[in-house]
């Protein structure tokens, strides 16, 4: 019972350690995403400072406030372990969708610098290559393109100055093709990673089974060697007599390998496990105690 409890405790400790390492990795990836937010914000500042566009105070407030609030929520999820309740604890899809929605603020506010803003969607989509499969990637693409469609519709509906339908549709098509390529390529990379992970898991399982089998064979060999050793020891302890024994026809002494004549009792005792208890047979008794036996035979029954 104690051994089982110890084994269970080790398994729990191993699982906790693995989960902690995974959570640390998710926090590191979140830090990389946070740096992307900072780069995009810096790019928007440069665009406005270089006179390529202008954002109002309200738009700046929405842009900065949404970035701060969204990332604070994601950080809270990771630091408290709330993300573990989701099917994908890395929250990759959710982070990409939120960053895409956040990026729609400068995309709408800076129409003249729209190609530059669209360029910064590429790093956000690259985060999904190792996590999202092809179907999930296409859902994200559909969501982002839907938001982009809404931006173009607002520009057209509000009759924004300088709005060129053909130019905007061209950008829209190029952006859609780019995201679609990301969906295919990212899905391929993600599926390849998943297959490699499954193969690695199978290899580890097979290795564990082979290790168990090798240990069992070693134990069986050790038992076999022990049994052979015990049998050899037993055989060494067993003393048997075999072959021709030179024996005196008169006194029945036996000659040993060195040429000495030994009493039969001594020789057998030295070359076997037999012991002797002396007695006398009836024929010898008659010879040795002849008068006594004659009187016994003459007595009537």
Task: Give the pLDDT confidence score for residue 95 in this predicted structure.
Answer: 92
Q: Choose among 70, 147, 168: nearest CA to 105.
A: 147
Task: Give the pLDDT confidence score for residue 296 in this predicted structure.
Answer: 59
Q: Choose among 177, 175, 49, 159: nearest CA to 107.
A: 175
Q: Choose among 188, 47, 189: nearest CA to 115.
A: 47
By residue count, the chain amounts to 301
Query: Hey, where are the domains in the chain?
Result: 2-212, 254-298
DSSP state, residue 247 = B
Distance of CA 161 to CAs 112, 156, 167, 183, 253, Å? 10, 10, 14, 34, 136
Q: Are 246 and 254 in contact (CB under 8 A)?
A: yes
Q: Choose among 130, 129, 23: nearest CA to 83.
A: 23
Backbone angles phi, psi at 167, to 5 degrees: -65, -45
Across the chain, which has 301 residues, the per-10-residue mean pLDDT values are 49 64 89 91 92 91 95 94 89 91 93 90 78 85 92 88 87 91 81 80 86 88 87 68 71 76 75 70 71 58 50
Distance of CA 258 to CAs 53, 193, 245, 250, 251, Å? 121, 82, 13, 21, 19
Beta strand spans in the chain (E): 254-255, 261-262
Task: Give the pLDDT confidence score for residue 145 in this predicted structure.
Answer: 92
């Amino acid at each position: 019972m104690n051994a089982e409890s110890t084994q269970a405790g080790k398994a729990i400790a191993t699982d906790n350690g693995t989960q902690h390492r995974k959570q640390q990795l998710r926090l590191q990836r979140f830090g990389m995403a946070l740096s992307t937010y900072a780069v995009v914000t810096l790019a928007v500042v440069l665009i406005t400072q270089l006179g390529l566009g202008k954002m109002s105070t309200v738009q700046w407030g929405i842009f900065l406030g949404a970035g701060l609030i969204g990332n604070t929520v994601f950080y809270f999820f990771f630091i408290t372990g709330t993300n573990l309740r989701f099917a994908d604890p890395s929250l990759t899809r959710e982070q990409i969708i939120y960053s895409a929605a956040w990026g729609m603020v400068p995309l709408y506010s800076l129409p003249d610098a729209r190609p530059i803003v669209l360029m910064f969607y590429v790093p956000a989509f690259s985060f999904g290559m190792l996590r999202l499969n092809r179907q999930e990637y296409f859902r994200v693409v559909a969501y982002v393109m839907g938001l982009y469609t809404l931006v173009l519709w607002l520009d057209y509906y509000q009759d924004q100055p300088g709005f060129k339908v053909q130019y905007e549709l061209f950008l829209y098509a190029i952006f859609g093709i780019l995201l679609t390529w990301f969906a295919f390529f990212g899905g391929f990379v993600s599926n390849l990673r998943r297959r490699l992970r499954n193969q690695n898991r199978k290899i580890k399982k097979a290795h564990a089974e082979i290790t168990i089998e090798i240990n069992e064979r070693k134990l069986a060999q050790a038992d076999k060697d022990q049994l052979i050793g015990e049998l050899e020891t037993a055989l060494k302890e067993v003393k048997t007599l075999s072959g021709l024994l030179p024996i005196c026809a008169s006194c029945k002494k036996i000659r040993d390998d060195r040429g000495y004549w030994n009493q039969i009792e001594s020789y057998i005792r030295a070359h076997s496990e037999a012991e002797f208890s002396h007695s006398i047979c009836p024929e010898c008794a008659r010879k040795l105690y002849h008068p006594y036996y004659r009187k016994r035979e003459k007595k009537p029954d």
